[in-house]
C-alpha cells in the first residue's frame, strides 16, 4: 500500500514546464536542491539525464549548466557533430558558401565561429560590420563593370578598406583601372583588426574560387584539408575528437577513389560529404565522468542513483513510426518485427528500473503562446495511474502530489513566496531569497583581475561602464545588430539622407 508520505519522499518527481529552456532550468534547480537540502551523498557521475531529442536540448543544457552559479561537470553524448560551434559546423558553413550567395551577411556570420576568430585573431566584430557597411560591400566576389556590380563586390570593398588604412583622406583614386574611394575610418589597433579581417576575406575568396574545376574524390579530400588548415585550424594545433573524426571521414573517401575514378563537381562532392558529417553523433561521451546527458536509446539502462527524463511530451515519446506504402512487411505482420512504439515502452520500463534512488520526469505541460494545458506522454500518464492503483485512500490524489507546474519565467514571484514548494538556485546572487531575514548584508568583494589583456584594458578606458557591467556584474546587453543589406541603394530614403 502506498501512503501519502511515500508520495512526498521525493523518489518520483514530475515537472510540467512551458518551454524547453525552462525544463533544463528546473532540472538544474532540482539537482542543486537534491544535494543542498536533502544532503544526499551524490556525485555528478551518479546522475544521468535522458532526453527525447538531444540536439534540440543541447544548446539549453550548455547555456544553463555553463553559466549556473553552482557548477556541475557534465558531458553530452549522442550530440550531432554539426549542431554546436565546433570544427564540423564551421566547415559545413564554409562549404555552404559559393559565388552565387557570397553576400555580406553570409560571410560575416562565419565570424560567429570561435575557431575562425581565433585562427585570424579577430575580436572586434562590431568594427568589422561597420567597415563592411561603409565600404558598400553587398554581394559578389568581383562583380562586373558592365552593370556596376563591381562597386558593391567584396574585392572592391576590401580594396577601399586597405587603401583607406594606407592613405589618409577619402579622395578618389584610380587603381587597376577602377575609380576607388579609400575608406578612411580606422587607425591604430582598429586598422590592424581590419587588416586581419581583409586577410580572412581574401583566404575565403581564394578557397571558393578553387572549386570551379571538377576533381577526383582524393583531390576533393585534399581540398577539404586545405580549407580546414587555412580557415579553421592548423593540423598541429588540433588533435581533438572532431579533427580525428574528420580525418577518418576523409580516409573513407580516399578508399572510394579506387572505385570512382571519374572527376566530379564540387556540388556533387559537397552533397555527399556534408550528409556524412550531419549523420554522425558523439556516442563516445557516455558515462565518461560528470552528469551524462544522452538520447533515449536502448542499451543505456545502466543503474544510476538519479535518473531524469526530459522531453516526455505527448507528441514526442513514444515515437511515431513512419509507414510507407511500399513496405510489404506492414501488410503481413510477424512475431519479432520491429515496432517503434512498443520498443519505446520497453525502454521507458528499463529506465524506471535503472533508477536506484530518484526518478525525475519533465515535459512541456503548458503552451507558452496561449497557456493551454498540454498532456504528458502516455507512458508518464500510465506510470501515474499505476501508482494511483496502489493507493487505497481515495482522498489521496497521486497526480496532484507528484506533478508540479512551474511558471513561465524563472524570476516569477511564485518562487519567493514562503508557503510555496518551488525553489530557484539560478542567479541566486541576483535574486531575492524568500528565506532571507531582511537584514542588510555586506556587498561581495569585487573580483580580482590578476592578468588583463591589452584589448580588455583598451576597452575599459573606452567605455568603463560597459567593462564594469560585462566583467564584474556579468551583464551583457545584446545590441540589435541590423542585418547588412544585400542590395545596392539607388536612392537614399529620408533617414539615410539625414544620417
| pTM of the complete model | 0.63
Residues above pLDDT 90, as percent of the chain: 18
57 grid coordinates: 536540448
Model pLDDT for residues 58-84, shown as the tens digit of each residue: 889 988 988 888 888 888 887 776 566
Model pLDDT for residues 277-302, shown as the tens digit of each residue: 766 665 555 566 789 898 887 766 78
Taking alpha carbons only, the member of 203, 111, 118 closest to residue 158 is 203
Model pLDDT for residues 391-425, shown as the tens digit of each residue: 888 788 888 888 899 998 888 888 887 767 788 88
Determine the distance from the C-alpha atom of residue 237 to the mean position of all C-alpha atoms in its chain, rounded to a whole number: 24
Evaluate if residue 382 carries a pLDDT over 50: yes
- Alpha-carbon distances, residue 274 vs 90, 91, 211, 216, 356 (angstroms): 12, 9, 16, 17, 42
Evaluate if residue 86 carries a pLDDT over 80: no
**Rounded Cα gap, residues 436 and 326, in angstroms:** 66
Going along the chain from its start, the domains and CATH numbers come out as: 4-79+285-321+338-416 (3.40.50.300), 87-278 (1.10.486.10)
**Rounded Cα gap, residues 24 and 450, in angstroms:** 34
pLDDT, position 238:
53
DSSP 31-97: HHHHHHTS-----GGGEEEEES-HHHHHHHHHHHHHHSSS---EEE-S-BTTTSSSHHHHHHHHHH-
**With bands split at pLDDT 50, 70 and 90, how would you rate the model's confidence at 434?**
very low
CB atoms within 10 A of CB 273: 21
**Rounded Cα gap, residues 110 and 208, in angstroms:** 14
Among 96-110, 199-213, 330-344, top mean pLDDT goes to: 199-213
Least confident of 118-132, 210-224, 478-492: 478-492
**With bands split at pLDDT 50, 70 and 90, how would you rate the model's confidence at 433?**
very low
Residues above pLDDT 70, as percent of the chain: 82
Evaluate if residue 431 carries a pLDDT over 50: no
Amino acid at each position: 500500500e502506498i501512503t501519502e508520505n511515500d508520495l512526498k519522499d521525493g523518489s518520483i518527481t514530475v515537472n510540467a514546464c512551458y518551454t524547453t529552456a525552462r525544463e533544463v532550468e528546473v532540472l538544474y534547480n532540482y539537482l542543486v536542491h537534491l544535494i543542498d537540502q536533502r544532503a544526499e551523498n551524490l556525485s555528478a557521475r551518479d546522475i544521468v539525464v535522458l532526453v527525447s531529442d538531444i540536439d534540440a536540448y543541447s544548446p539549453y543544457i550548455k547555456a544553463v549548466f555553463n553559466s549556473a552559479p553552482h557548477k556541475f561537470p557534465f558531458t553530452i553524448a549522442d550530440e550531432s557533430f554539426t549542431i554546436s560551434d565546433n570544427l564540423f559546423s564551421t566547415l559545413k558553413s564554409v562549404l555552404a558558401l559559393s559565388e552565387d550567395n557570397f553576400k555580406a551577411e553570409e560571410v560575416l556570420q562565419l565570424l560567429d565561429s570561435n575557431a575562425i576568430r581565433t585562427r585570424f585573431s579577430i575580436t572586434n566584430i562590431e568594427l568589422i560590420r561597420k567597415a563592411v557597411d561603409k565600404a558598400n560591400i553587398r554581394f559578389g566576389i568581383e562583380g562586373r563593370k558592365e552593370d556596376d556590380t563591381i562597386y558593391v563586390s567584396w574585392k572592391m570593398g576590401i580594396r577601399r578598406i586597405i587603401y583607406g588604412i594606407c592613405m589618409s583622406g577619402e579622395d578618389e583614386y584610380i587603381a587597376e583601372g577602377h575609380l576607388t574611394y579609400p575608406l578612411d575610418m580606422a587607425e591604430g589597433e582598429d586598422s590592424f583588426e581590419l587588416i586581419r579581417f581583409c586577410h580572412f576575406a581574401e583566404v575565403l575568396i581564394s578557397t571558393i574560387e578553387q572549386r570551379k574545376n571538377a576533381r577526383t574524390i582524393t583531390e576533393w579530400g585534399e581540398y577539404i584539408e586545405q580549407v580546414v588548415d587555412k580557415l579553421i585550424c592548423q593540423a598541429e594545433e588540433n588533435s581533438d575528437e572532431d579533427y580525428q573524426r574528420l580525418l577518418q571521414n576523409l580516409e573513407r573517401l580516399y578508399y572510394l577513389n579506387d572505385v570512382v575514378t571519374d572527376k566530379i563537381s564540387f556540388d556533387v562532392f559537397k552533397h555527399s560529404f556534408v550528409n556524412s558529417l550531419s549523420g554522425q553523433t558523439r556516442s563516445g561521451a557516455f558515462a565518461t565522468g560528470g552528469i551524462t546527458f544522452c538520447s533515449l536509446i536502448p542499451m543505456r539502462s545502466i543503474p544510476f542513483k538519479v535518473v531524469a527524463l526530459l522531453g516526455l511530451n505527448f507528441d514526442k515519446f513514444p515515437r511515431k513510426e513512419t509507414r510507407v506504402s511500399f513496405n510489404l512487411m506492414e501488410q503481413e505482420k510477424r512475431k519479432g518485427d520491429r515496432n517503434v512504439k512498443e520498443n519505446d515502452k520497453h525502454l521507458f520500463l528499463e529506465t524506471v528500473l535503472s533508477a536506484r534512488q530518484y526518478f525525475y520526469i519533465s515535459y512541456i505541460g503548458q503552451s507558452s503562446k496561449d497557456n493551454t494545458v498540454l498532456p504528458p506522454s502516455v507512458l508518464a500518464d500510465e506510470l501515474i495511474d499505476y501508482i494511483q492503483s496502489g493507493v487505497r485512500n481515495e482522498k489521496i490524489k497521486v497526480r496532484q502530489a507528484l506533478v508540479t507546474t512551474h511558471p513561465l519565467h524563472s524570476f516569477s514571484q511564485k518562487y519567493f513566496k514562503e508557503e510555496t514548494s518551488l525553489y530557484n538556485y539560478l542567479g541566486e546572487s541576483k535574486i531575492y531569497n524568500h528565506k532571507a531575514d531582511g537584514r542588510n548584508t555586506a556587498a561581495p568583494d569585487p573580483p580580482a583581475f590578476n592578468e588583463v589583456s591589452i584589448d580588455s584594458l583598451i576597452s575599459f578606458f573606452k567605455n568603463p561602464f560597459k567593462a564594469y557591467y560585462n566583467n564584474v556584474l556579468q551583464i551583457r546587453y545584446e545590441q540589435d545588430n541590423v542585418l547588412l543589406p544585400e542590395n545596392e541603394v539607388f536612392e537614399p530614403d529620408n533617414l539615410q539622407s539625414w544620417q
